[in-house]
């Protein structure tokens, strides 16, 4: 689980910084260069960047204790986020015919990260602490 948390910390922190500093270019790489962002949309994109920084920070902190219940909780949230992001990006491509050069790689990355999260959660289903059954 530690590798998943570290990978998430790096990926989401990078994406968050990109959305905060270069929102138009980042959205253009995902949605296509013809997408024009209004001032409200730019604000929402930057807010999304801050959220991704928070996800990255949470994953980085959880990576210090990857076998803890808190880390499993973080990975549970990451599962929902990654599978939702893959679906949302896929819907943008299929439903609205939008797509820049990084859209398909982002869909594949989020789907793979979501599957990795599920695998890690299934492996970590054993109880921990004083309530754990003794062998």
pLDDT in tens, 34-73: 788 899 999 999 999 999 999 999 999 999 999 999 999 9
Q: Vertex 42, ends 41 and 43: CA angle to 5°?
A: 90
Decide if 133 is inside a domain: no
Query: Which one-letter DSSP state was computed for residue 16?
Result: H
Instruction: Report pLDDT digits (tens) over 113-123.
Output: 999 999 999 99
Asked if residue 87 belongs to a domain, the reply is: yes
Distance between CA atoms of residues 11 and 5, nearest Å: 10
The verdict on residue 134 lying in a domain is no
Give the closest residue to 50 by CA, choosing from 97, 18, 6.
18
pLDDT for 132 equals 55
74 CB burial (10 A radius; 0-12, 13-18, 19+): buried
For residue 25, being part of any structural domain is answered with: yes
Q: Report the length, in residues, of the chain.
A: 135
Asked whether residue 106 is domain-assigned, the answer is yes
Average pLDDT of every residue of the chain: 90
Higher pLDDT, 97 or 80: 80
> Which pLDDT does position 94 carry in this prediction?
84
This prediction has a pTM of 0.85
Task: Say if 64 falls within a structural domain.
Answer: yes
**Structural domain tally of the chain?**
1
* Reported confidence tier of residue 130, pLDDT bands at 50, 70, 90: low
**Cα dist. 20→14, 32, 47, 65 in Å?**
10, 18, 8, 29
What is the C-alpha separation between 107 and 30, in angstroms, rounded?
Answer: 10
pLDDT at res. 66: 94
Residue 100 lies in a domain: yes
Instruction: Look up the domain containing 55 and give its range.
Output: 2-127
Residue 135 resides in a domain: no
């Amino acid at each position: 689980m530690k590798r998943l948390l570290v990978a998430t910390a790096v990926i989401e922190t990078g994406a968050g910084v990109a959305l905060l500093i270069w929102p138009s270019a980042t959205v253009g790489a995902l949605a296509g260069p013809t997408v024009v962002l209004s001032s409200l949309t730019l604000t929402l994109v930057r807010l999304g960047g801050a959220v991704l920084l928070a996800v990255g920070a949470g994953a980085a902190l959880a990576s210090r204790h990857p076998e803890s219940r808190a880390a499993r909780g973080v990975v549970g949230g990451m599962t929902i986020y990654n599978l939702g992001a893959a679906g949302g990006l896929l819907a943008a491509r299929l439903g609205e015919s939008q797509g820049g050069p990084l859209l398909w790689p982002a869909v594949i990355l989020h789907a793979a990260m979501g599957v990795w999260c599920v695998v890690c959660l299934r492996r970590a289903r054993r109880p921990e602490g004083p309530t754990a059954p003794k062998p």
